[in-house]
Structure 1
Amino acid sequence: MATSEEVLAGLWQLAGLPAEALAFARLTGADPVLPSSFAVGLAAQASIAAAALAACELGHRRGVARQEVAVDTLHAALDCTGWFSLDGRVPELWDTFSGMYRCVDGWVRIHANFKHHREGALRLMQLDPATATRADAEAAMAGWRARDFEDAAAAQGLVATALRRFDEWDASPQGQAVAAQPLFTIERIGEAPPRALPPLREHQRPLEGLRVLDLTRILAGPVGGRALAAYGADVMLVNSPNLPNIESIADTSRGKLSTHVDLCTGEGRAVLRGLAADAHVFVQGYRPGGIAALGFGPEALARERPGIVCVSLTAYGTQGPWAGRRGFDSLVQTAMGFNHAEGEAAGDGKPRPMPMQILDEASGYLIALGAAAALWRQQQEGGSWHVQVSLAQTGQWLRGLGRVPGGLSIARAGVEPYVETSASGFGELAALRHGAQLSRTPAAWPRPSMPPGSHPPVWPAVAGG
């Protein structure tokens, strides 16, 4: 298994950042830290360290000294569990109908956390959503072939995947497409001069004065935006007033402005264009092609705001027959073979999830890494830039980090030493401190987490204000 320093160096090289900055990383600890046969701690540590170090390197490009970035494996892994509580209550984040179902010839995982996904899946099973129970769903799924249900669900825009082994995923057209792609890409998509950034002082966090639009909803994208906010950026979370959210928004909105913009209206699109005109980074996790259809694809943004950095998040990447499919971390784990492999390692053969949504979490930190690296390149050589990250490519990278013998035998560590409490618009929020320790300008979220629509769609008059 590669060392944490080697894994970080690989991410750093792919991001195109100066090798001398790696001397400022301090990485401690090693897997296993949470019960898994995969190097989930290493993935968490390396992705968090890369994001924080890239932000600091951009700060250095803006004229301040480099600073040390320390990341411990256990702290990083717990940070990536997404644990939080509100007024002492730890929310139940999974719907009754979400999870694994046994089929005629295998297993299917269904994601039913959103009402329209849950009702669609139940109707596909020929059940009444108003009266069906979990037992009804299990009985119905027992009559399906796993991949038939997967295909039928995808055809209706639902989210369900059949369980595969690694060799089955590798032999599939989508598995081959993912394996042929790099972990993430940073591509120049337009011409622009280097954009002048606000001056930075030694006591300021490295991204202060930068403006980030965060058009993401579930976990990976919001984690990326939260990281950029921790390093000082003004991050504005843009939600639709017509769409539901999950309770994790209380945790992932720390440090952000949170506004409503209805992109189904001309007025809403005009508001977003105005915000984008002053943004440095535009992050979106719409289904493939969705944001472009509204006029905010990377090429359109680069024409309207030369020098912008666009970041696109997908489930399965941009290549292969599943490029247009919706997906969530739990489903990608199932499709790619991780749940089967964890079950084999446990010895009982029952499909087993990894101990956290590590594909989401690591992808979120890769979003932050890619955004900071692209901004650094913009300062070096100008241009507009497009960063692309996908859960499946993150999964391919995690698999390449190797297995952890005996990793499932370790007890799950408590989060208590790493918890901080703050007031929020959702109640008293207890959540994990950021996993990277910056020696001169600690990561922080001075803005409290607030519900969607709490702020007007206007940038602060003074950066960081």
Structure 2
Amino acid sequence: MTHAPKSGTEQAWAALGGDPALLAHIATDGPGGRLLPARLPVMELARSAVAVCSLAAAELAARRTAGPVPRVRIDEGAVATAFTSERHLRIDGRAPTSFAPLSRFWRTADGWVRTHANYPHHRARLLATLGLSPETPDDIAVDTVAASFAGRRSDEIERTVYEAGGLAVAARTPGQWAADPRGAAVAGTPLVARERTDDAPGRRTAPLTGEPLLPAAGLRVLDLTRVIAGPVATRTLALLGADVLRIDAPQLPESPDAHSDTGFGKRSVDLDLSGRSGAAAFDRLLADADVVVIGYRPGAFERFGLTPESLAARRPGLVIARLSAWGHGPWAGRRGFDSLVQVATGIASVEAGAGPGSVPGALPAQALDHGTGYLLAAAVLRALTEQHDEGGSRLATLSLARTASWLLDELPAPALPGAATGDGDGTGRSYDPEKWLTETDSPLGRLRHAVPPVAFEGSPAGWSRPPGPLGADAAAWLTA
């Protein structure tokens, strides 16, 4: 007797250590049409990540109200729109800046590479490998890079650019990635690695009252993340009532447009952890924190002595969630972004156009970023529930590369007509995202943005505050 493969929601909830009986609390509806169409089950990934995050929030709410677990309601239109939120964002009517001219695919002597040069320092390091100055105009830089890469092997470009501190990844097939030690190291890890690191007593939070139902109310979250995945996780925790304080290094550039999308509900401060005053301010914040979310590559914070073990020793009972691009293995300490992970793991190969020599493709959303972000938030919420019952400091670890393996190898393929091109109702109709967009006035301007997809009975419909300028807030928690 054969059994139907487990749904993505079942797989993710099991990875989070959740009670399978609670899955009956989830209901899903949607607008029909083609949502995040792709050859791979992208909508299954999106739906599942948001569903388990919503269920984890509902479960924690039940612990804090001593009541039943609220029903979870997943609107697939809201999910699809949220997974492409950066594309729908408008700031006083202006579309945000997307990929820079040097962030793209390049033909090589034996295939393709993809570079990422959205940040000025990554652009400068890429150009330095060709003897070009950072002031080189984009049109000249594009022509020079194209001519140089066309006569070189992909793996040699990947190695040379990385050694210079830049970002370039050779395109691989799923089979090549699976056979590579870098891919094999990631495939052997859990989708969500969960650890209880000590026997510290749990910190009981006050019972929840009133509406909306905010399961993370009263919790303080240090947000040490950038770009999309980590900020999506902490934006979700802010939606659910947490006091989220984002910390950035003043010397690192960040995209104001990206922050306009993922900064909802949070405050933001610049701290130089290498300086005495910055380190002291961080220590004061950590002393009253409940959660620390780390989204930098392994090694970036360890050099300040901020390992999971040291954080939990300084603040027993802490929940720590960490995220990286590549996970375990030879590339563990490398920088990486969603677009590069898609290329290395073979996703871009699967999504390529028809015909030999076609340019590698891309998913219809930065689904590794968004999906991992909601899984990361779910891991924090589940850790808080477990801590409520059992105590102990908690550590959750995720990576974009492991989420890519989930998409490529583990999620069930769409069972609807037209499954080869992605989820939908088989009609080929595209959905209209307008229903799941709203507008909010903010210090950054009037923002058109996606509504939150995480929802359950009594949940908040939006964030308590819009994003403000990066680094503009005080290094202090809000008064309870």
Length-normalised TM-score, structure 2: 0.91
Q: How does 1:237-386 map to 2 (within 5 A)?
A: 237-246=246-255, 247-317=257-327, 319-344=328-353, 349-386=358-395
- Is contact 2:7–2:412 with CA below 8 Å preserved after alignment? no
- Is contact 1:59–1:200 with CA below 8 Å preserved after alignment? yes
Task: Tell me which moved more, 129-138 or 34-43.
Answer: 129-138
Q: CA deviation at 1:356?
A: 1.0
Q: CA deviation at 1:264?
A: 1.9
Would the alpha carbon gap of residues 330 and 359 (structure 1) be closer, same or farther in structure 2, given more than 3 Å must change?
same
Could you report, residue by residue, the CA deviation over 1:23-55 in whole angstroms, capped at 9, with x for unpaired residues?
Answer: 221123589412311111111111011112101
Length-normalised TM-score, structure 1: 0.94
Distance 1:419 1:223 in 2: 17
| Aligned-CA RMSD value | 2.0
Distance 1:71 1:385 in 2: 28
Q: How does 1:444-459 map to 2 (within 5 A)?
A: 444-459=462-477
Q: How does 1:404-423 map to 2 (within 5 A)?
A: 404=414, 405-407=419-421, 410=428, 412-423=430-441
Task: Tell me which moved more, 186-195 or 20-29.
Answer: 20-29
Count of residue pairs the alignment pairs up: 460
Partner residue in 1 for 2:90:
85
Would the alpha carbon gap of residues 423 and 5 (structure 1) be closer, same or farther in structure 2, given more than 3 Å must change?
farther
Which residue, 193, 198, 209 being the options, matches 1:201? 209
Q: CA deviation at 1:195?
A: 1.1
Could you report, residue by residue, the CA deviation over 1:234-284 in whole angstroms, capped at 9, with x for unpaired residues?
Answer: 111111222111221111000111112111211111111111111111001
Q: Look up the equivalent residue of 1:124 and give its one-letter code.
A: T
Task: Tell me which moved more, 348-357 or 444-453.
Answer: 348-357
- Is contact 2:194–2:395 with CA below 8 Å preserved after alignment? yes
SS of the equivalent of 1:133 reads helix
Task: Tell me which moved more, 245-254 or 148-157.
Answer: 148-157
Q: Look up the equivalent residue of 1:167 and give its one-letter code.
A: G
Distance 1:430 1:344 in 2: 32
Q: CA deviation at 1:20?
A: 3.1
- Is contact 2:174–2:345 with CA below 8 Å preserved after alignment? yes
SS of the equivalent of 2:250 reads coil
Distance 1:158 1:297 in 2: 26
Could you report, residue by residue, the CA deviation over 1:351-398 in whole angstroms, capped at 9, with x for unpaired residues?
Answer: 111111100000100110111111111111111111101000000111
Q: Look up the equivalent residue of 2:36 and give its one-letter code.
A: L
- Is contact 1:32–1:407 with CA below 8 Å preserved after alignment? no
Partner residue in 2 for 1:75:
78
Task: Tell me which moved more, 198-207 or 208-217.
Answer: 198-207
- Is contact 1:34–1:355 with CA below 8 Å preserved after alignment? yes
SS of the equivalent of 2:166 reads coil
Distance 1:443 1:152 in 2: 48
- Is contact 1:32–1:41 with CA below 8 Å preserved after alignment? no
Matched, 1:14 2:33: no
Task: Tell me which moved more, 363-372 or 130-139.
Answer: 130-139
- Is contact 2:33–2:431 with CA below 8 Å preserved after alignment? no
Q: Look up the equivalent residue of 1:233 and give its one-letter code.
A: A
- Is contact 1:125–1:141 with CA below 8 Å preserved after alignment? no
Could you report, residue by residue, the CA deviation over 1:181-236 in whole angstroms, capped at 9, with x for unpaired residues?
Answer: 11111111122011121221152311111111111011100000001111111111
Which residue, 174, 179, 183 being the options, matches 2:182? 174
Partner residue in 2 for 1:24:
25
Partner residue in 1 for 2:447:
429
Q: CA deviation at 1:299?
A: 0.4
SS of the equivalent of 1:437 reads coil
Q: Look up the equivalent residue of 2:70 and give its one-letter code.
A: Q
Distance 1:20 1:325 in 2: 39
Matched, 1:49 2:51: yes
Distance 1:96 1:205 in 2: 42
Would the alpha carbon gap of residues 164 and 217 (structure 1) be closer, same or farther in structure 2, given more than 3 Å must change?
same
Distance 2:33 2:413 in 1: 10
- Is contact 1:211–1:234 with CA below 8 Å preserved after alignment? yes
User: What 5-or-longer segments of structure 2 have no aligned partner?
Assistant: none
Distance 1:4 1:366 in 2: 20
Distance 1:6 1:241 in 2: 43
